[in-house]
Chain A
Amino acid sequence: MKPRVAFFDFTGCEGCQLDALNLEPDELLGLLGAVDIVNFREVRTDRSDEYDIAFIEGSITRESEIARLKEIRERAAVLVALGACACTGGINCMKNAYETEELLKGVYGDCAAYYDTIPTRPADAVVKVDAYIRGCPPTTTEFVKVVKSLLLGKKADLPNYPVCTECRRAGNICVFQRGGTCIGPVTRAGCDALCVSAGRFCWGCRGLVDDPNLDSEKDILARYGLTIDQILEHFRIYNSCTEATQCQK
């Protein structure tokens, strides 16, 4: 029997789900031949609660989502966090800088009571996650690589070194040398330094490497006359949930 695959969306923009299937026609047909997609609300109507691999998209921002995620975890043999929101909490963590009351009143005024929210957390702050497909959005290449590994029962070999390594390989001029700030030195690679290669800088959407070289980061700050605030302004776009004070693990 082909492995049964299910996609589930929590709080997020749903871009990862659609990008994951942005394959060439023959790749897509190949994937559809190798697995049974039994649950994918954004694409198909029929649903099944019997599945082997669950892809989780989005972060957890409501009590009801905690219960739903736990239920999915119970049913799935393998649970994969798909995209920055599921892997690290992503951009949704920026709201954790504010009290829930202030957010609700600020955005919804007198209607605040109609809305329901809790501080954002990534999927692994709620349940055990077996594999991560990082990025905002993840690359299709990495999605395919992880799916292939899962189907073979292997762990995907994904980079655990900083974006700088790929950035140099891409022949980019260092963002710091151009006078900008960049989260690349502490961010997990795997994107081929896409944003720097496109003329911008790294926002850190793939999360921190396991053992970030913080001394080197301090050296960079000193060498280029940057302040911690300048770095944090960018760091917090994607990584506020990883800061100890914000994390709800």
Chain B
Amino acid sequence: MSEIKIKVNQLTRVEGHGNIHLEATDGKLDRVLWEVTESPRFFEWMLKNRHYDDVSTISSRICGICSIAHTTASLQATEAAFNIKLSEQSWLLRKLLYDAELLESHVLHVLFLVAPDFLKADSVIPLVATHGDVVVMAVRMKKLAYNLAEILAGRKTHPITPVVGGWAKLPDIEALKAIRERLDKAVDDAETMVAVVKSLAPGIPAFDRPTEYIALKDNREYAFITGKIASTDGGTVNLNDYAKVTNEFCVPQSSSKYARHKRDSYMVGALSRFNLNADQLLPKAKKAARELGLKAPVTNPFMISVAQTVETMHALEDAINIIDKLLARGIHEEEVKVKPRAGRGVGIVEAPRGMLIHDYTYDDSGHIVSANCIIPTGQNHLSIQKDFDTLAPTILDKPEEEIRHTLEMLVRSYDPCISCSVH
């Protein structure tokens, strides 16, 4: 009798704590599990009775990587509850800050966390010696995204200036002009990133498991912080009705809730966005997609990093366009007026790793009565598990080390943010 037992305790190069557990006997799979072991943090309860002015500050701490996404979803939920419409200037700045988030998170994931898998390295550190130019380029892009966020929000991790209804402080025009030049140059870096990913692509495992892909969709643009909830299985859902899509439930092997819609699982994230909105990518991003051979629909979850690479180019182009618009129209002081009222508001954005939902109910003094947050990785956990169920039986004849590595790569490709998912 031949037995395979694989236990990965605390998967590396992902945010948060998760385990992989596989057992097989005589080439037959007994079990394969994606287990989430991260400590729950109870943000929904911590937000209770909090004043609207502190809410996004607190909820941004759900995540150290996508704190701008949490801030944005949080502000939009509060603004929806109070029926506040942002000025055009505030809106452009919010989208620009969002581009910084996408840029930083995607570069971190693709080049620092995923790339070592393809180069048989345990981390980016040994790659400094073998692929120094690419590592320096990646650090440079990440730093650029940080600096863009700093100009707009005071800092990248846990932004300070974005407030309900607008901005507590506006960015300096000269700083925007200077960073625009750096963004321009970074297009070359993004092209290098496309070339690097293309060179690694032959190592992407051949695996397809079509599922339902869900993302925001907006007629006007490739949606990151606008639009309605859309599914490749058809139809759109209004933001307030998100629960019809997410249908959260619990499972014993996970300290994060799971979600399910029309099929046995659904996916959110860069690949879902690409599958739903590819025709709205900006020109250089479309070119990058062609270069990388990415054509919707893509049903291989290992291709998520490739979609993230295309989105990196899109975020860069979008940031340059927005800065040009801001420089042309000038930046003017605007009074932020907020009048709290009792009611509910839902804010949904596309965090780098997928659809993120904040849902708040306020009392008339502007304090939270109840809060609900639904996290992209919570929605992806079941898809990871279903991929495991399909993929594992097909690779049992491989050496144990290769099975383990392939399962690890699969989880990593989702860019899971486990700390978020156990908020």
Tell me if B67 and A15 are in contact (CB < 8 A): yes
Chain B residues whose CB sits within 8 angstroms of the CB of A15 once the complex forms: 61, 63-65, 67, 157-158
By the criterion CB–CB under 8 Å, are B62 and A44 in contact?
Answer: no
- B45's contact among A41, A90, A95, A111, by CB below 8 Å, is which? A95
Q: Is the interface of B mostly helix, strand, loop or mixed?
A: loop
Q: In the complex, which residue of chain A has the Cβ closest to the Cβ of B253? A: A114
User: Which of B10, B44, B154, B252 contacts A107, CB < 8 Å?
Assistant: B44
Least CB separation from B51: chain A residue = A233
B98-130 CB contact bits vs A (8 Å, 1 = yes)? Answer: 000000000010001100100000111100100
Known pairs A45-B122, A61-B39; A195 contacts B160 (CB<8 A): yes
B161 interface hit (Cβ, 8 Å)? yes
**Are the C-beta atoms of B61 and A91 separated by less than 8 Å?**
yes
Q: Which of A16-24, A147-155, A158-166, A218-226 contacts B (4 or more CB under 8 A)?
A: A16-24
Q: How far is the CA of A197 from the CA of B150 in the complex (A)?
A: 12
Kindly provide the distance from the CB of B135 to the nearest chain A CB, expressed in whole angstroms: 8
CB of B16 closer than 8 Å to a CB of A? yes
Least Cβ–Cβ distance between B154 and chain A, in angstroms? 3
Q: A28-B139, A200-B160, A237-B54 are in contact. Are A18 and B64 (CB under 8 A)?
A: yes
Contacts of B156 in A (CB 8 A): 19, 22
A200 touches B139 (CB 8 A): no
- Check A40–B123 contact: CB distance below 8 A: yes
A95 touches B140 (CB 8 A): no
Interface range on chain A (Cβ under 8 Å from partner): 35 or more
Instruction: Using CB atoms, name the residue of chain A closest to B249.
Output: A111
Asked whether, in the complex, the Cβ of B146 is within 8 Å of the Cβ of A22, the reply is yes
A37-B125 contact given A200-B168, A233-B51, CB 8 Å threshold: yes
Point out the residues of chain B lying under 8 angstroms from A37, CB to CB: 125
Among residues of A, the one whose C-beta sits closest to the C-beta of B126 is A44
Contact between chains at B15 and A42 (CB < 8 Å): yes
Contact A29 B45 (CB under 8 A): no
List B contacts of A203 (CB < 8 A): 54, 57
Q: Residue B229 at the A interface, CB < 8 A?
A: no
Whole-angstrom CA separation of A234 from B158 in the bound complex: 17
Residues of A within 8 A of B67 (CB): 13, 15
- Given pairs A14-B419, A42-B14, 18 additional interface contacts (CB within 8 A): A11-B38, A18-B157, A45-B116, A94-B46, A102-B45, A107-B42, A111-B257, A115-B255, A137-B155, A194-B154, A198-B153, A198-B168, A200-B163, A200-B168, A203-B54, A203-B57, A234-B54, A237-B54
A residues in contact (CB < 8 Å) with B:
9-19, 22-25, 28-29, 32, 37, 40-47, 61-62, 65, 90-92, 94-95, 98, 102-103, 106-108, 110-111, 114-117, 136-137, 194-195, 197-200, 203, 233-234, 237
